[in-house]
Amino acid sequence: MATGERQRIDKWLFFARVVKSRSLAAKLATGGRVRINSDKIDQASHAVKVGDVLTVTLDRRILIYKVLDTGHRRGPAEEARLLYEDISPQPKEGADVGPAGLPPMRESGSGRPTKRERRQTDRLRDFE
């Protein structure tokens, strides 16, 4: 890689497998959900270079990546991991978070009734 080589942020996010498509990467960038060196960007054409620190805000997590290389194609995940160094903070121990950053499941019986429970309730009301 040549020194000073730059690449569009939407292409880099796509090549690094942060998002599934380049159009989704462009939406992230134009939506203000990507920061480069703590500066919010609003264009998908903004260029990144080696050494930049990206902060990407996804639905349930925040990713902080240091750019190590620019990509040439969207290859396998092993190849994509060579493009960045993940410096995201680890979740705190004891935090009540399930797999993949999802909130824990609700206990059964709490919240809205299921369709089956609703039918049983309706049957009881009709019986009286």
Domain annotation for the chain: domains and CATH numbers: 1-89 (3.10.290.10)
Indicate the residue type of 62. Answer: I
pLDDT at residue 3, rounded to an integer: 57
Report residue 71 CA to chain centroid gap.
Answer: 19
Dihedral Cα 85, 89, 92, 97, nearest 10 deg: -70
Report residue 45 CA to chain centroid gap.
Answer: 20
**8 A C-beta contact, residue 56 and residue 24:** no
Chain segment 53-104, per-residue pLDDT in tens = 999 999 878 999 999 999 999 999 999 999 999 999 887 665 555 556 666 6
Indicate the residue type of 110. Answer: S
- pTM over cut 0.85: no
Q: Which residue has the tokens 């730059």?
A: 6
pLDDT at residue 92, rounded to an integer: 67
